[in-house]
Amino acid sequence: LKFEVQILGVGSATPVLERHPSAQVLSIDNESFLIDCGEGTQYRLLEQKIKHPRIRHVFISHLHGDHYLGLIGLISSLNLNQRSEELTVYGPKGLREILEIQFKYADTRIRFDLNFVEVDTTARNIILDHQFLTVETIPLAHRIPCCGFLFRTKPAPRKLLRELLPEEFPVTYMKMLKNGIDVHDELNQATYLAADFTLEAATERAYAYCSDTAYLERNVPQLANVNTMYHEATFTNELLSRAIETNHSTATQAAQIAQMANVGKLLIGHFSSRYKTLETFETEARAIFENTLLAEEGVIYEI
Ligand SMILES: [Zn+2]
Ligand SMILES: [Zn+2]
């Protein structure tokens, strides 16, 4: 199963020409999940040729504009484009009210099923139990209620090697083999070992999206061993005091969390517009956590 994330924006609060506000698309199989939706996200989706019908779930971390101002535009366009698929928006208290007041004064009638799920940003809750994965909130520490999202694939059954089995092999036996149970066929006095007729299932994978947050060690157990973690790094360590003041993290701090949680790979983003170049972020983080990458817009990262 394909499991990957494409970064659409690595900027923070104020715009820089070549860096856009937060938005990412996580894809599994043929479905996509939109994570944050900064201003202009709909153009970024067009640019990357991401088909709207594939997106049925949108996760908003908090109500700072650089994380959700693109949502009203995106939803309006989906409505004008005769969307028929359902769309569920997960976000903190207030998001629904903000959008609905915009619909009201624009006399916009949404003609597809638009659902809102208000998330509690202070707790670890599973907010979506999907066919392929679960999504859990990651409580963060920011100036306003804010949470991240942990996407974890579900354990998959073993893959059946159908061509090795006799024709007319009973379906119940196939199910047993897929679950790793050996089959003894009394009638034909034959034994089928799961190990001989199936392949090991793909291992579970996890992606953590840590949006705007102050340095927060208490989340380390929840983030333990995830394959890929995105963590904000608004500042370099030189501006640690500014990070503390504004409830943001530095590249060093993001790397410290990655190291403590023993994640596979760290992606850092949400760079402050005051930085013209980003090398320092990389050097600084890598000094603590080697497998760090600067999140790059348009790039797809396998999880
Ligand atoms: Zn932000
Ligand atoms: Zn923020």
Condensed to tens digits (0 to 9), the pLDDT of residues 212-227 reads 999 999 999 999 999 9
Q: Provide the percentage of residues in the chain whose pLDDT is more than 70.
A: 100
Cβ neighbors of 34 (< 8 A, separation 6 or more) are 23, 24, 25, 41, 55, 57, 58, 59
**How far is 153 from 126, CA to CA, in rounded Å?**
13
Counting ligands in written order, the one closest to the CA of 144 is 2
| Cβ neighbours of 217 (radius 10 Å) | 11
Q: Which ligand is nearest to the CA of 13?
A: 1
Task: Identify whether 66 is a catalytic site residue.
Answer: yes
Point out the ligand nearest to the CA of residue 23: 1
Both tokens of 20, joined, read 């856009």
- Please say if the pLDDT value at position 16 is more than 80: yes
pLDDT band, residue 55 (cuts 50/70/90): very high
The alpha carbon of 267 and the centre of ligand 2 are apart by a number of angstroms equal to 18
Structure-token match 């089928």, residue found: 192
Dist. CA 147 → ligand 1 center (Å): 12
CA of 40 to the centre of ligand 1 (A): 15
Instruction: Quick: pLDDT tens for 103-154.
Output: 999 999 999 999 999 999 999 999 999 999 999 999 999 999 999 999 999 9
pLDDT number for residue 188 = 84
- Using CA atoms, how far apart are residues 52 and 44, in angstroms rounded to an integer? 12
- CB within 8 Å of 39: residues ≥ 6 apart: 15, 20, 21, 65, 66, 69, 70, 73
The enclosing H or E element of 37 equals strand 31-37
For the chain, the average pLDDT equals: 95
The protein residues having their C-beta less than 5 angstroms from ligand 1 (an ion) are: 12, 64, 66, 212
| CB count in 10 Å sphere of residue 229 | 26
Distance between CA atoms of 212 and 248, rounded to whole angstroms? 6
